[in-house]
Amino acid sequence: MLVKQIFELAVNMAKSVDPRGAQGIKEYLADVKKEHDKSSSEAKSYFNAERLDHPYSDSGVHFSDDKTVVKRVLAGIDIDGSEILLASQLSERGKKIDLVMGHHPLGRGLADLHGVMDMQVAMFEQAGVPVHVAEKMMEERIKEVGRSIHPINHYQIIDMARLLKVNLMNTHTPTDNLVNNFLMKFLSKKKLRTVGDFLDALLEIPEYQEAKRRGAGPNLLSGNPKSRLGKFILEMTGGTNPSDAMYEALSRYGISTIVGMHMKESARGKANEHHLNIVIAGHMASDSLGMNLLLDELEKKGIDVVPCGGLIRVSRVGKKK
């Protein structure tokens, strides 16, 4: 496979399980095209054309020679200059790395992280929050995230990859979609009555088992293991955490338990104030699970996967589900 084909595979897998559904994605892309078409010639020269092709602005191919047939990937959750150097060194020492694959946003994908957050409106609407409430609450949060990432040195790692000629891509929301879908299907088959039952179910999954061995497994931020689970919502995809104010709305409209990868302290306080149970599945474990589901598809095609950068690599190829 070529680098661009691997990214296209990730996008197609993500779209097939996107919380917005096929129609929601179609409408989103139509809105982007309308925005593009109405722009001036000057504005179009700055427009990220990839937004016309897929709804995952926080992900992309950042450097590629467009000709390498990928036989081995170095895959990690966080990729920085160290992993780019590692790939170069491994190649020099006879273990050729054809592509570095990261999870968290890089380059233009980092600059445009807030562009994927509108997805959360659909997720909260599905959970029972009226769409006008979800939209208003997400609107300011999206702006806040955009402001916070604007001053970051987005292209430092991209420049390093370009100079060393290391092919580089990342898949953030695409693989977050995969873990979100995996957990929904997995948990829907369980008879979960309490929050403790939920935590036990997570620990049946190898990535969460290993994370617990490493000291970062699933934990309960608010509530009691004996508390009834009630209706729960997964916060596994959609860029990053929602507005703190969203937790009041979720509690009001029937959600009892929040399940996320991570949560800032101010959000924990707000969720606790509104009597929500808070389960933190674990950041690296959840990101690893999503990445693994994509990497397994590469493994099936004969591509060797070398884990790095915090990735808890678990292969499900050839194993019973």
Q: How many domains does the chain have?
A: 2
Residues 37 and 155 in one domain: yes
- For residue range 213-246, what is the model confidence (pLDDT) as tens digits? 999 999 999 899 999 999 999 999 999 988 888 8
Residues 158 and 264 in one domain: no
Residues 290 and 183 in one domain: no
Residue 229 pLDDT: 96
Residue 108 pLDDT: 96
Residues 161 and 258 in one domain: no
Residues 145 and 233 in one domain: no
267 is a domain residue: yes
Listed as ranges, residues in the chain with pLDDT below 70 are 320-321
pTM above 0.85, yes or no: yes
Residue 113 pLDDT: 96
Tell me how far apart the alpha carbons of residues 310 and 207 are, in angstroms, rounded to a whole number. 12
Residue type, 228: R
- For residue range 67-94, what is the model confidence (pLDDT) as tens digits? 999 999 999 999 999 999 999 999 999 9
Radius of gyration of the chain (CA): 20
Contacts of the segment 125-128: beta carbons below 8 A, 24+ positions apart: 126/19, 127/231, 127/233, 127/250, 127/253, 127/254, 127/255, 128/231, 128/253, 128/254, 128/255
**Which CATH number does the domain housing residue 208 bear?**
3.40.1390.30
154 is a domain residue: yes
319 is a domain residue: no
Name the DSSP class of 115.
G
Tell me how far apart the alpha carbons of residues 228 and 171 are, in angstroms, rounded to a whole number. 35
Residue 227 pLDDT: 95
| Domain span holding position 242 | 179-283
Name the DSSP class of 206.
H
One DSSP character per residue, 4-58 reads HHHHHHHHHHHHHT-TTHHHHHHHHHHHHHHHHHHS-HHHHHHS-GGGGT-S-TT
